[in-house]
Amino acid sequence: MTMRIDPADPAPPGLFKRLDPAVLTAFGCIVALLLVGSLYSTSFLSPGYLLQQLQVGAFLAMAATGMMIVILLGQIDLSVPWLVTVGGMMSTAAAGYGPWGAAFAIPAGVLCGVVFGLVNGVGVAYLRIPSMIFTLGINAVAQGLMILRTGGSAPQDMATPAMHGLATGHALAGIPNAVWIWIVVGAVTVFVLRRTTFGRSVYGIGNREAAAYLSGINTRRIVLLAFALSGGLSAFAGVLLAGYSDKAYQGMGDPYLLPAIAAVVLGGTSILGGRGSYLGTTAGVILITLLQSILSVMQIAEAGRQIIYGVVIVAMLLLYGRGPRVGS
Amino acid sequence: MRDWRYRFDQHKATLSAALVFVVIFGIYAANHPAGFSANVVQTAANKGVLLALVAVGQTFVVLTAGIDLSLGAIFILADCLASWIVIGSPLMTGLGIVGVLLAGLACGAVNGALVIYGRLQPIVATIATGAIYFGLALALRPNPGGDINGDLADALTGQGPGGVPVSVVALVVIMLLVWVPFRRSVLGRAAYAAGSAEVSAYMSGAPVARAKFLAYCMAGLFAALGGLMLAFFTYSGEASSTNAATYTLNSIAAVVIGGVSLFGGSGSAVGAIFGALIFRTINDLLFVFDLDPLWQPLFLGLVLLLAVSLGSLRLLRVRNRLELFGP
């Protein structure tokens, strides 16, 4: 006897069932953090403070978006620190070339990041070098180039008014411009990942590259494109950051690698690729930003922050980031 | 005769790394303004041994097809810890050294436990634990400083009889005591097997989990040995995030240059030592040939990129595109 299946009842599962438990956990942690923070100071729940956190989080969100696309492929991009710096430094450098340079400062910075990202993509997709080591190498090369540029002389490193406005202004409805940018980039990413061939191919390659290849996907081009996107987004984070602090400097991208990976992984994206949602990454970014903010408000020293960071990430990974058992 | 050929093939990567090192070091010594002298060798050896120790640690993990991105942080943590406890009477100093090494071993054991028993991906797990270890180092030494047993430091960084650098002797002794027994043990063989084909090794009854765990512990131990050496060279401890990142990156570069496959299962720690020495000598060559110091980071980055790109030569042997995608 078979179960009767009602054809009219393939109802979409409820909202809570559709949501990844990891994403729910991440949002739960955000609420918990806010509650802990509000015990410490009531200003934690004020809209002004929350908007400011979102504004700061937007820079991390750019880097994390690129990182997420790469991680969905089952790869990783460890060149984020110096690509962020490349973005900041090259955009401010372009600003030195008169009014035309200033007008094209932002695209120039992003374009440099895309170029580095393309090299990453060629190494990973066409030369088939493990992304972890190749992107580390590109990070070192980018670092070398930036040191070469800034070391001997004091080049132009001031942000243009446009960059400053983009990162710190409030053009619309009292919400920081950086948050608007985050919303736009987020919406585009969701559309690309869910509704385009590129996005579905990214998930396919992340699940099983050989199968994706056999189904006719040009896997190498998709990987190349994903790394270029990641490079461009990292550089864009650098552009915003340079606008925020009004100048570009060496090492400005250093505090972005671990948080970007952590935000993606805490948001429930599988580090092995093929699984994860942008909502989760958003939650991860907010979670990391709030954690950083609360730790600094409580005046915990850098040492303690690093330790708590590491412990929280390991704990979250143990909760839902575990791989399959060998031999089963 | 057949046996000889097989053994030669197995050690080809290590032998070519050694050959490259001899050639490069020859060029370096011949062009050094002070000429080929015991002092030149001593300085070069001391810098080389630091990286070599961390690279040997990385080799253990890479052989099992893993990676440890926290080694730079363990290296710095050991340095900072040594600047507190490796001082005083010979007994106190000895206990201090044991303490530093145990700390390194513990860090490695945590990594191993997370990766093997916690089933986390080595990349993410060790990036996260690296943050913890670096935080601990920063807590120990918020500002550079501290002190270390000066007599022992001078002895270990100086020259022995005949002008042989003591640090190299120490490295050789450590390798004879740790690497050689490991290579010949069941666990060592299992580590190679696990890196080559984990499931097959498991099915053949090799102690895969224990071997991998041991590899991470050894990586922590060798990173701590490197940190201890760093403290001996600098007479102090400094929690430098730049150094931590640089040594992590350079240890991977050294391993790759030394002919250890990042996919696991092939290569040797001896090769990694030569890889480290090659990497360091290239750095020194830039000094000798008066290259602008500003160009150095870029040049080293390019060397690293080129070295890892050599791995793609295997693409020439691939006949079926599907082989590219792995299991």
| B67, B138, B315 member nearest A302 (Cβ) | B138
Q: Which residues, in sequence order, are CB contacts of B255 under 8 Å at separation 6+?
A: B55, B58, B59, B62, B262, B267, B272, B275
Average pLDDT score, chain B = 87
B316 interfacial to chain A (CB closer than 8 Å): no
Residue bearing the bigger pLDDT, B70 or B299: B70
Which 3 state secondary structure label does DSSP give A247?
strand
Tell me what pLDDT residue A4 has.
47
Tell me what pLDDT residue B266 has.
86
Tens-place pLDDT, residues B44-67: 888 899 999 999 999 999 999 999
Residue A12 has pLDDT above 50, yes or no: no
Average pLDDT estimate for B91-103: 92
φ, ψ (nearest 5 deg) of residue B141: -135, 75
B303 interfacial to chain A (CB closer than 8 Å): no
Interface test with chain A among B294, B302, B303, by most A beta carbons within 10 Å = B294
CATH of A22-33+46-320, one of 1.10.3470, 3.90.930, 1.20.140, 2.60.120: 1.10.3470
CA of A248, closest CA in chain B: separation in Å?
Answer: 19
Lowest-pLDDT choice from A101-105, A197-201, A260-264, B322-326: B322-326
Residue bearing the bigger pLDDT, A284 or B10: A284
Tens-place pLDDT, residues A102-147: 788 889 999 999 999 999 999 998 888 888 888 988 998 998 898 8
**CB B137, CB B79: distance < 8 Å:** yes
User: Which of B208-234 are b and which e, b meaning 16 or more Cβ less than 10 Å from the residue's Cβ?
Assistant: bebbbbbbbbbbbbbbbbbbbbbbbbb
How many other β-carbons are positioned within 10 Å of the β-carbon of residue B24?
A: 18
Tell me what pLDDT residue A66 has.
94
Q: For the residues of A155-213, what is the DSSP string, one character each?
A: ---BPPHHHHHHHH---BTTB-HHHHHHHHHHHHHHHHHHHSHHHHHHHHHHH-HHHHH
Q: Using a CB-CB distance cutoff of 8 angstroms, which residues of chain A are in contact with residue B312?
A: 127-129
Residue A9 has pLDDT above 60, yes or no: no
H-helix segments, A208-277? 209-214, 219-245, 257-266
Q: For the residues of B26-64, what is the DSSP string, one character each?
A: HHHHHH-TT-S-HHHHHHHHHHHHHHHHHHHHHHHHHHT
Give residue A268's region: left, alpha or beta (phi > 0; psi -120 to 50): left
Tell me what pLDDT residue A79 has.
92
Q: Using a CB-CB distance cutoff of 8 angstroms, which residues of chain B are in contact with residue A326?
A: 198-199, 202, 208-209
The Cβ-side half-sphere exposure at A136, using a 13 Å CA radius, reads 23
Average pLDDT estimate for B244-270: 87
B134 interfacial to chain A (CB closer than 8 Å): yes
Average pLDDT estimate for B198-204: 90
Residue bearing the bigger pLDDT, B316 or A191: A191
| A136, A213, A323 member nearest B121 (Cβ) | A323
B120 interfacial to chain A (CB closer than 8 Å): yes
> Which of A92-101, A317-326, B143-152, B162-171 is most confident?
B162-171
Average pLDDT estimate for B263-288: 87
Lowest-pLDDT choice from A225-239, B151-165, B252-266: B151-165
Which 3 state secondary structure label does DSSP give B1?
coil
CA end-to-end span of chain B, whole Å? 36
Residue carrying the six token digits 């998930």: A203
Average pLDDT estimate for B152-162: 80
Q: Using a CB-CB distance cutoff of 8 angstroms, which residues of chain A are in contact with residue B313?
A: none
Average pLDDT estimate for A254-276: 86
Tell me what pLDDT residue A10 has.
43
Report the alpha-carbon angle B125-B130-B132, nearest 5: 100
**CB A327, CB B202: distance < 8 Å:** yes
Residue bearing the bigger pLDDT, B71 or B324: B71
CA of B22, closest CA in chain A: separation in Å?
Answer: 25
Lowest-pLDDT choice from A13-22, A114-123, A242-251, B219-228: A13-22
Q: Using a CB-CB distance cutoff of 8 angstroms, which residues of chain A are in contact with residue B252?
A: 133, 136
Cβ distance of B262 and A148 shorter than 8 Å:
no
Cβ distance of A152 and B294 shorter than 8 Å:
yes
Tens-place pLDDT, residues A266-316: 888 888 888 889 999 999 999 989 888 888 888 888 888 889 888 988 887
Q: Which two tokens stand for residue A203?
A: 């998930």
**CB B142, CB A301: distance < 8 Å:** yes
Q: Using a CB-CB distance cutoff of 8 angstroms, which residues of chain B are in contact with residue A209?
A: 325
Average pLDDT estimate for A225-252: 91
Residue bearing the bigger pLDDT, B315 or A285: A285
Average pLDDT score, chain A = 84
CA of B80, closest CA in chain A: separation in Å?
Answer: 13
Residue B316 has pLDDT above 80, yes or no: no
**CB A147, CB A249: distance < 8 Å:** no
Looking at chain A, how many residues does it have? 328
A314 interfacial to chain B (CB closer than 8 Å): yes
Tell me what pLDDT residue B63 has.
94
Tens-place pLDDT, residues A60-80: 999 999 999 999 998 989 899
Tens-place pLDDT, residues B102-135: 999 999 999 999 999 998 888 889 989 999 999 9
CA of A1, closest CA in chain B: separation in Å?
Answer: 40
Tell me what pLDDT residue B164 has.
84
Q: Which residues, in sequence order, are CB contacts of B151 under 8 Å at separation 6+?
A: none
B67 interfacial to chain A (CB closer than 8 Å): yes
Tell me what pLDDT residue A11 has.
46
Lowest-pLDDT choice from A318-322, B9-13, B165-169, B180-184: A318-322
Residue A2 has pLDDT above 60, yes or no: no
Q: Which of A266, A290, A291 is nearest to A280 (CA)?
A: A266
**CB B77, CB B227: distance < 8 Å:** yes
